[in-house]
Amino acid sequence: MQPLDKVLEIGTGSAYQAALLAEMGADVFTIERQKKLFDRCQHFEYLQRYPILQFFYGDGYEGLPRYAPFDKIVLTAAAPQISQVLVRQLKTGGMMVLPFGEHGESQRMIRLIKLAGGEVNEERFGAFSFVSMLEGRKKAFGFLRGNNDSDN
């Protein structure tokens, strides 16, 4: 990752990874589909150090087309298929990293690099076990810290 890379994180959780990415200099956009997690992480004190983090509540499968293209996309939950919606939101030369496979089975870590013309180079790595990525929110909305406007 390079400083100032525009990174989309699918699965905010506690926002720990988002904070690490921000610490590395990334411009981070993070989506969480579980409302309780989304609401809770808005109150974590350690996140006050990262006012640039942009949080969204919504369906990670849809990504954030309004803010695309992204240099990097990181999925924190296993995906049973590669989302072409997310691939389209990558810049040429952009990279997506995801655990790939069905719930209950071991997954493979995959790195995709988007080539000119929209083609994708795929690399597969070791076996892992992640929670499943779920669908369910049709539209992402969020806020910028220090800004009361939401992206409705």
pLDDT digit string (tens) for 115-148?
999 999 999 998 877 667 777 765 565 655 544 4
Question: In which domain, by residue range, is 19 found?
Answer: 6-133
Q: What is the pLDDT of residue 151?
A: 41
Q: What is the domain-level CATH number for residue 44?
A: 3.40.50.150
Residue 150's pLDDT is 42
% the chain with pLDDT above 70: 86
Q: Which two structure tokens, joined as six digits, stand for 133?
A: 């990525």
Determine the Cα–Cα distance for residues 128 and 100; give it in Å rounded to an integer. Answer: 9
Residue among 78, 107, 100 at smallest CA distance from 10: 78
The answer to whether residue 84 sits within a structural domain is yes
Instruction: Count Cβ atoms within 10 A of the Cβ of residue 12 and give its class: 0-12 exposed, 13-18 middle, 19 or more buried.
Output: buried
For residue 1, being part of any structural domain is answered with no
Q: What is the mean pLDDT of the chain?
A: 87
On whether residue 150 sits in a domain, the answer given is no
pLDDT per residue as tens digits for the range 76-89: 888 889 999 999 99
pLDDT at 112 over 50: yes
Mean pLDDT of 35-55: 90
* Better-scored residue on pLDDT, 105 or 40: 40
Give the number of domains in the chain.
Answer: 1
Average pLDDT score over residue span 84-111: 91
